[in-house]
Structure 1
Amino acid sequence: MIDQPKDIRKGEELDLDRLKAFLSDNLPEFSGEIAVSQFPSGFSNLTYLLKSGNREYVLRRPPFGANIKGGHDMSREFKVLSLLKPVYPKVPSPVLFCNDESVLGSEFYMMERVKGVILRGRPPKDINLSPDLMKSISEACIDNLAALHTMDIETSGLNSFGKPEGYTQRQVEGWIRRYHKAETDELGSMNAVTKWLEEHLPKQEHVSFIHNDYKYDNLVLNPDNLSEITAVLDWEMSTVGNPLMDLGTSLAYWAQADDSEALKPFSLTWLPGNLNRAQFADRYGERTGFDLKNLVYYYAFGAFKIGVIIQQIYARYKKGLTQDARFANLIYAVKACGVNAAKAIEKDKI
């Protein structure tokens, strides 16, 4: 049941000699020996399991060939975890940050390993994801997002991570620029959505600390009670900003049974029992008290944004910067994101 790593993918190996030397100098409990494996899922930062004696750590570093200071700032992610841990216990404890790129070719950081079940694209073996169980997991997922968005950010110091004024406009303009920069195919739906997003920008009414990539495969579930979330992972895009944009992204990841098959490998939210997107939004609104009158806008933005993220990965694959075979057909997922956004705009519902 526990999420397990696998062999390291070709081209993503770590220099163990340099890593061991660094840990010997900077990690007091390091035993001198190390075994490394890699968590196979995820499309952004690379995640490895390090075993040293009876201790286990998770190491995070940017993907090879990526723009390191774009969406892969290891220093920032480490600082976020350090400030979050005292006020939001559902994050791994940060252990060590390395800014010496001569060790692994980039900055990286280490954190404690939180063992548990992670719902990825395929149901875990030996677990019966019954409708009742999926309903309770989906409710816990929504409630936890609402709790994050209503957390006090002033006393924790998290308010220093981001500029909430004008956040919505900057995000819309920024993701549109990223899309055009990474564009490899002309997709009518994606281009139509960019125009609509620019013309219908809503007024920002709320400010929260937001995750920006909140979905099932970033949640660690308690193996003894799968309805309990023990940790939230992958805070690389977290910031202070408009929580409804975070909600929109999560809703866009929330594939339903009637969605394109290209979107279903990214989530198990389409399984029977899960609340649907409309029920998700209703429960979130009840828990936060936020006005969701512009929900279609935020959902369309979320779908577009996910499409851009996938497009960026696909563009790296097309340029030969990564050999990961999983990326070869990602263009179909980009198309599906554009179609979902355009459909929501046309029908005025998510």
Structure 2
Amino acid sequence: MSVIDLGGSVQEGEELDIHAVESWLKQQGIVIEGQVELTQYTGGASNWTYRLKYHNVDLILRRPPNGTKAKSAHDMAREFFVQKHLAAYYPVVPEMIALCQDPHVIGCDFYVMRRIEGIIPRAKLPPELQLNEEQINQLCRNVLDRLIELHQVPYEATELKYLGKGEGYCQRQVEGWDKRYEKARTINVPSFGYVRQWLKDNTPRESKICIIHNDWRFDNVILDPESPTNVIGVLDWEMATLGDPLMDLGNALAYWVEETDNMIFKSTRRQPTHLKGMFTRKQVVDYYMRQTGLDTTNWTFYEVFGVFRLAVIAQQIYYRYFHKQTKNQAFKDFWIVIHALHIRALKLIAAEKFKHSKINTKYLHKVQGILKK
């Protein structure tokens, strides 16, 4: 059994006009030899992703789903632009080959990049890797180091300076996700009223402005098959922008399920962060702050925001199920997860309040013990 992500059969309704694509590739001067082996990657990304394997070249094609427009969350040109201009400073982005914005080819924008052959670490690491605790710890560090390296990219002297507004990012994010939650609320989920107001009242100025990935997870990196603790690729740049790096970290931590987390969170785990050797969420923050020298004063805001943002994402998905816009049974219990995320956000806020109060130390330790349960 291969540990390499190879893709699978193309899904019904998501067929690719390969003849039109091949004709366009040749017009771009791209040499392709032999019969194409066409497969599709169906996990994770919102955009449709195909593998085009030829005798002489191995390509990936990304396009938006049917019914979406390019100037939206599925902006192919923007995704292509980010990776193309990052390449000189951040060599783990895939090599961009060509961008198509002619709707006459396949009916939508798309781009083609060179495939990076490797392992994508999902909820379970392939048992064939046989990584020990020390190696898993090194993998954890290496994934975090790649995030830290991204946050150090000198974007100011490049075209990437036009990627986003930068200053005021935290406030815009709080306001934007607040509106999204209100729009997606259903009668069986909490209002998040206290959490939402707390975020508005405690929004800090940005720790700094840099390029952020905005969807940093283990299943968005590629590991070297020969040395599987090393990260050789970073994928899914559709939400990258200029913003606060601690927002990037806080958002990533919302997905970080620990070995000691409750069963609700364990049921949502998408990455191998529960394994022995992986950092806890606190250790992730400590490591990141040591490596970057950024201030931890306002850290609770970033962690609470990450939890709230994940709750909004889950609620937007659940909204579709609740209103019978999808029959996917995988979404039917998302409302339970949203309640659990609400409790986590409240616990984080409560712990922050107790930390700064003059309450009796013995009592504080007792309360903190309760909050950990």
Q: TM-score, normalised by structure 1?
A: 0.91
In structure 2, the partner of 1:6 is: 8
Instruction: Quote the Cα distance in structure 2 between the aligned partners of 1:102 and 1:24.
Output: 16
Q: TM-score, normalised by structure 2?
A: 0.85
Structure 2: which amino acid aligns with 1:307? A
- Contact map agreement 1:20 1:33 (CA 8 A) in 2: no
Instruction: Quote the Cα distance in structure 2 between the aligned partners of 1:103 and 1:68.
Output: 14
Counterparts in 2 of 1:188 and 1:321: CA distance versus 1, 3 Å: closer
- Contact map agreement 1:161 1:239 (CA 8 A) in 2: yes
- Contact map agreement 2:189 2:335 (CA 8 A) in 1: no
Moved more, 197-206 or 84-93: 197-206
What do the CA deviations read for 1:227-255 (whole angstroms, capped 9, x no partner)?
21111111111111111111111111211
In structure 1, the partner of 2:366 is: none
1:68 Cα deviation (Å)?
4.7
- Contact map agreement 2:60 2:113 (CA 8 A) in 1: yes
What do the CA deviations read for 1:134-171 (whole angstroms, capped 9, x no partner)?
21111111222122212212233322211112111011
In structure 1, the partner of 2:243 is: 241
Unmatched tracts of structure 2, length 5 or more: 356-371
Structure 2: which amino acid aligns with 1:89? P
Question: Where do 1:100-249 residues align within 5 Å?
Answer: 100-188=102-190, 190-249=192-251
1:279 aligns with 2:283: yes
What secondary structure does 1:266 align onto?
coil
Counterparts in 2 of 1:28 and 1:239: CA distance versus 1, 3 Å: same
1:188 Cα deviation (Å)?
1.4
Instruction: Quote the Cα distance in structure 1 between the aligned partners of 2:341 and 2:191.
Output: 9
Larger RCO, structure (CA 8 Å, separation 6 or more): 1
Structure 1: which amino acid aligns with 2:156? E
In structure 2, the partner of 1:291 is: 295
- Contact map agreement 1:94 1:111 (CA 8 A) in 2: yes
1:337 aligns with 2:332: no
What do the CA deviations read for 1:102-157 (whole angstroms, capped 9, x no partner)?
43342211111011111112222412243222211111112221222122122333
1:317 Cα deviation (Å)?
5.2
What secondary structure does 1:188 align onto?
coil
In structure 1, the partner of 2:307 is: 303
Instruction: Quote the Cα distance in structure 1 between the aligned partners of 2:9 and 2:277.
Output: 34
Moved more, 145-154 or 70-79: 145-154
In structure 1, the partner of 2:84 is: 82
1:180 Cα deviation (Å)?
2.2
| Percentage of pairs with the same residue | 39
In structure 1, the partner of 2:351 is: 347
Correspondence for 2:272 among 268, 275, 290: 268
Larger radius of gyration: 2
1:183 Cα deviation (Å)?
3.0
Structure 1: which amino acid aligns with 2:199? L
- Contact map agreement 2:215 2:236 (CA 8 A) in 1: yes
Structure 1: which amino acid aligns with 2:299? L
Counterparts in 2 of 1:31 and 1:179: CA distance versus 1, 3 Å: farther
What secondary structure does 1:284 align onto?
helix
1:14 Cα deviation (Å)?
2.0
Moved more, 317-326 or 333-342: 317-326
Structure 2: which amino acid aligns with 1:278? K
Counterparts in 2 of 1:49 and 1:315: CA distance versus 1, 3 Å: farther
In structure 2, the partner of 1:256 is: 258
Structure 2: which amino acid aligns with 1:140? N
Counterparts in 2 of 1:46 and 1:289: CA distance versus 1, 3 Å: same
Moved more, 158-167 or 321-330: 321-330
- Contact map agreement 1:43 1:313 (CA 8 A) in 2: no
- Contact map agreement 1:58 1:113 (CA 8 A) in 2: yes
In structure 1, the partner of 2:368 is: none
Instruction: Quote the Cα distance in structure 2 between the aligned partners of 1:271 and 1:128.
Output: 12
Instruction: Quote the Cα distance in structure 2 between the aligned partners of 1:253 and 1:140.
Output: 18
Q: How many residues are matched?
A: 350
What secondary structure does 1:159 align onto?
helix
